[in-house]
Structure 1
Amino acid sequence: MSEIQLATVLAGATGFKENNVNDTFRGQVLTADGEVQQAIIKDLNIVQLCNELVAHCLAREVGLPIPDGYLGLVRPGVLSVSKAPNTADGSRLVFVSVDVKVPNVTYRWQGSDAAGRQALLAEIAQWGNLGHLYAYDTWIANVDRHAGNLLFGGNSEFWLIDHGHCFTGPEWKPEGLDPDVQYLNKLGLWLTQSLTLEQKKKCAKAARQFGVEIDGFDAGEISQNSRIADLLPLQYVEALKEFLEKRTARVPLDASKALGVPQMV
């Protein structure tokens, strides 16, 4: 399983607003191997930060495209952040995602008429991994996969971003992580209606296969590889582990429902 590496945020990052709720910056980071990367830097509370770290590891585990991610260290005076958790030496911890310089779907919609929007959705509908995305968002209870959280550059260039609202939301608590609940899959609100019946069936078949492949998933390594064992209380870490392991059983059914082709139980 992919391990989250550390990166140091360098001076000079600048904030930007593109419908982002949390303070977000473009800047440079220095990775542990001495490489400087252009990156998106997000000031998140500890739960959203951990959501991003875990979702990144899981996306890499199942082969879905997600930009390289790091746990970023902001030294005192380098960048003004307010939500990021503190370290013992006064630094702050942020989520860092390498800037792949691909626009999100919402951005590409701007200025398009209804026909243009539909043509873009038709392109997305042909993505070979679309069924796996429905399944992945179901598994991690991602309740916020709106069009701004999917980067699409054409020619099957897709990237998944912004996973702070996974695992039921940005402020989850252990007692609220119920693996047997059907959580909102927003793909069903803005993308499903653009799929043909055959595309829906194809995606549902892929989602069922995804469920087979993650059946028996052992989340034992996830807390270490994502570094959340160092950030969250043990009760949170154990609750998330149990949630991921038990939730695999719901993936085929709930993903199919989001696709509008419910399966017989």
Structure 2
Amino acid sequence: MFTIDLAVILKKEPFVLKSANSTYKATVLLKNGRKSTSLLKHIDFEEIVREFYSACVANHIGLPVPSQFLAFDSSENKTYYGCEFVEYPNFAAFFTNLDSNHVVLREAYLKLKSWTGWDTTVAFDELIINIDRHLGNLLWNGKNHFILIDHGRTFGEPKSLPRCNRLMDLYKYILEPSLEELEKAIRGCQKKSSVFEKNLSKETLGEFSSLTGNASLDILLYNECRKLSTILEENFGKLPCLLSDHLPENDTLFAKP
């Protein structure tokens, strides 16, 4: 079951200095009295909700995401988005000179493509309109386990950036698949998406009716999530076609998986 833990920040220190958001590694105290190491971001409430809602969708379809927190800093009177700090490095950190060494980059992406969750993640990103799945937003244990992070740039936000599916775009750019290979990859994504719950938007929204145990906060979260649920439902019905759109313009792939 998906949960959002309310937490109090005990101490924090800058974690990513060059970031669009203020990011911290922190020790937080959860409601049950347990201390946890968390990664915090100071972002606006709408982006916090997108993070939570996307993580909830991922949880429903079986994709790995860290535990989610809403953390309070009483000394600053600020609220932070938080997730469990995972010791895995991000995927990009395993490889150097990625832009200049195409061979290394190809080897890197082949490892990612061989992960059993690749197809589902491509479909998931298409569903939530995630425009920010670069290789730094995947954590990897160096073997066969990945964790998905950073889902603030989803559901059409920010509006100034065009819609894209970076995981699929990277696949086409790095591995340069033939049309047959690309069609096979897209069919694989369509097949994985075909087992998503038909009432996924309703089930996900339902989670937010009493998620934190704080009645006023749950109302705020629920009302914001209703907007995202509407977008999710619209995308769900046309997901096979949205995935097919990644074929070259003169080719179509509307076959059901």
Which interval holds the TM-score relative to the shorter structure?
0.7 to 0.9
**Contact 2:205 2:229 (8 Å CA) reproduced:** yes
Matched, 1:263 2:250: no
* Partner AA of 2:88 in structure 1: V
Question: Deviation at 1:73?
Answer: 1.7
Query: Following superposition of structure 1 onto structure 2, how do residues 123-142 of structure 1 map, counting pairs within 5 Å?
Result: 123-142=111-130
Question: Deviation at 1:190?
Answer: 1.6
Q: Which structure 1 segments of 5+ residues have no match?
A: 78-90, 173-181
* Partner AA of 1:231 in structure 2: L
Name 1:28's counterpart in structure 2: 27
Name 2:232's counterpart in structure 1: 244
In 1, Cα distance between the equivalents of 2:93 and 2:226?
A: 38
**Contact 2:182 2:247 (8 Å CA) reproduced:** no
In 2, Cα distance between the equivalents of 1:262 and 1:67?
A: 36
Question: Deviation at 1:233?
Answer: 8.6
Name 1:154's counterpart in structure 2: 142
Name 1:224's counterpart in structure 2: 209
Query: Following superposition of structure 1 onto structure 2, how do residues 105-120 of structure 1 map, counting pairs within 5 Å?
Result: 105-111=91-97, 113-120=101-108
**Residues 116-167 of structure 1, C-alpha deviations (whole Å, 9 max, x = no match):** 2221111111011111001100111111111211122321120101111011
**Contact 1:208 1:251 (8 Å CA) reproduced:** no
**Contact 2:39 2:84 (8 Å CA) reproduced:** yes
Q: Which structure 2 segments of 5+ residues have no match?
A: none
**Contact 1:46 1:231 (8 Å CA) reproduced:** no
**Residues 226-260 of structure 1, C-alpha deviations (whole Å, 9 max, x = no match):** 667543594x4432222222221122222343477
* Partner AA of 1:76 in structure 2: S
Equivalenced residue count is 241
The normalised TM-score by structure 1 is 0.79
The normalised TM-score by structure 2 is 0.81
Relative distance call for 1:185 and 1:134 in structure 2 (3 A) is same
**Contact 2:66 2:85 (8 Å CA) reproduced:** yes
3-state SS, counterpart of residue 208 of structure 2: helix
**Contact 1:139 1:247 (8 Å CA) reproduced:** yes
Matched, 1:190 2:170: yes
Aligned identity (percent) is 24
